[in-house]
């Protein structure tokens, strides 16, 4: 997961970092932890596993493309801790 992620809103870059730094809502992290480990208070290593799980799901949406529109995946991206997903463009670089 070496990819870098750029998030663009109204032609302005609002996020540029490693894809593993993807901002994820806390309640989604906890829900996923309960789903995978039945643990509502995961340790940092388990949290890291969960982040990898979300990032993996996120990367699958690109399906060999390097860019996706948030408007096409609003429901799939509801775990992201960013507002107005429908206005965003996500670009992946290596």
Partner 1 sequence: MDVYLDNNATTKVSKEVFEAMIPYFNEEFGNPSSLHTKGIKIKKVLNQSRKIISDLLGVNRNEIYFTGSGTESNNWALKGLAFSNTTKSEIITTKIEHHSILHTCNFLESLGFTVHYLDVDQDGFIMIDQLSSLINDNTLVVSIIMANNEIGTIQNIKQISKICDANSTYFHIDAIQAATHTMFDLKDTGVDLASISGHKFHAPKGIGLLYVKEGTKITNLIHGGQQEYGLRSGTENIPYIVGLAKAMKIGFNQLNDYETKLNNISKSFLKDLDNANIDYKLNGPKIGKNRLPGNLNLSFRNIDGMSLSFLLNKQGVYVSTGSACDTESIDISHVIKAINIPQQYQSATLRISFSTSLTKDEIEYATKIIINTIKSEQN
Q: Which residues bind partner 1 (CB under 8 A)?
A: 1-2, 20, 43-45, 48-49, 52-53, 56, 94
- Residue 43 carries which DSSP code? -
Q: Kindly tell me which of 22 and 88 has the beta carbon lying closer to partner 1.
A: 22
Nearest residue (CB) to partner 1, 47 versus 89: 47
d(CA 11, CA 84): 14
**Alpha-carbon gap, residue 66 to 61, rounded angstroms:** 10
Structure tokens at 59: 């990367």
Give me the phi and psi of 78, to 5 degrees please.
Answer: -65, -10
Name the residue nearer to partner 1 (CB basis): 56 or 84: 56
For the bound state, the minimum distance from the C-beta of residue 45 to partner 1, rounded and expressed in Å, comes to 5
């Amino acid at each position: 997961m070496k990819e870098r992620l750029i998030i663009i809103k109204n032609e302005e870059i609002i996020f540029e970092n490693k894809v593993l730094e993807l901002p994820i809502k806390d309640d989604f992290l906890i829900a996923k932890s309960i789903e995978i480990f039945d643990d509502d208070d995961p340790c940092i290593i388990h949290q890291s596993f969960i982040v990898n799980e979300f990032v993996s799901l996120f990367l699958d949406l690109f399906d060999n493309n390097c860019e996706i529109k948030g408007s096409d995946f609003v429901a799939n991206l509801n775990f992201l801790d960013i507002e107005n997903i429908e206005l965003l463009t996500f670009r992946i670089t290596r």
